[in-house]
Amino acid sequence: MITFTDRSQSEEIEPHPDLILYFQETQKFDSKLPDDFVNGNEHHNIVSNIEQNIFLLNRLNERKLLNQNNHMIDCGIGLGFTLFDFYLQSLDMDKSFTFTGIEKQKIYTKYIKSNLLDFWNNELLLIEDDIMNHNYKKYNIVYSYTPYRSEKNLREFYNKVSDEIESGSLIIENANSGLGHFDILTNIDSLERLEIDDINIFIKR
Ligand SMILES: C[S@@+](CC[C@H](N)C(=O)[O-])C[C@H]1O[C@@H](n2cnc3c(N)ncnc32)[C@H](O)[C@@H]1O
């Protein structure tokens, strides 16, 4: 069972029933990760701190940070629980959204395709690739939760995303209240930090 506390309001929130079902399905995942992956520089599927994301689309909307047509991507989608939460949030909004997840590890994409795609009502575009091979120009919300352990790789990734997205597009990291490890995002000149209640997001100038 999952429970959420909206830390900005200090109140308990009931998760969407489909989010609970999705979570339960992800708990059945028991495939073995490749050995080189476990010891490598890339993180495995560690789910975001979901309390940070409560009502986040609404909170962005209230601050006029969304477009009428929004294109959101999770870079390293894992099993998709976090992006699915955003998808459910979007269903109550008067704006349109597309959802894309990119993931390099076939054990995750295979599990999504076999067990989780039905939850998405054909609204997930799943790309099996390395996040460094993708171009982020068309997305106005780029989400990621620290795909790399190393500062160098993380920095290269966020520099690439920041270079490619359009002015006004958002980058949302889950680590370190949105600041990312190693102060990665605060050190990119083309990004401006915005405080949204108790978290930070970044907007391209
Ligand atoms: C910390 S998990 C985050 C999962 C999910 N985005 C979330 O927030 O709940 C990082 C994910 O990024 C994926 N990943 C790491 N390096 C990657 C790369 N170079 N290309 C694509 N996916 C990658 C991992 O396989 C893992 O699923």
Local structure of 62: helix, strand or coil: helix
Ligand 1, atom 15, residue with closest C-alpha: 147
pTM (two decimals): 0.95
CATH code for the domain of 173:
3.40.50.150
Residue 9 predicted with pLDDT over 70: no
User: What are the pLDDT digits (tens) for 104-156?
Assistant: 999 999 999 999 999 999 999 999 999 999 999 999 999 999 999 999 999 99
Domain holding 100, by residue range, is: 4-204
Q: Note whether 173 and 145 are within 8 A (CB).
A: yes
CA of 54 to the centre of ligand 1 (A): 21
Residue 72 predicted with pLDDT over 50: yes
User: What are the pLDDT digits (tens) for 23-49?
Assistant: 999 999 998 777 776 668 888 899 999
Residue 8 predicted with pLDDT over 60: no
Which one of 32, 33, 37, 43 would you pick to mutate in the ligand 1 pocket, going by the greatest count of ligand atoms within 8 A of its CB? 43
Instruction: Give me the number of domains the chain comprises.
Output: 1
Selection from 204, 205, 198, 203 nearest residue 56 by Cα: 198
pLDDT of residue 170: 98
pLDDT of residue 7: 56
pLDDT of residue 32: 79
Ligand 1, atom 20, residue with closest C-alpha: 130
Q: How many residues does the structure list for the chain?
A: 205
Cα torsion angle, 48, 8, 67, 23, sign: positive
If one counts every other C-beta atom within 10 angstroms of the C-beta of residue 156, the result is 13
Q: Kindly state the average pLDDT of the residues 174-189.
A: 94
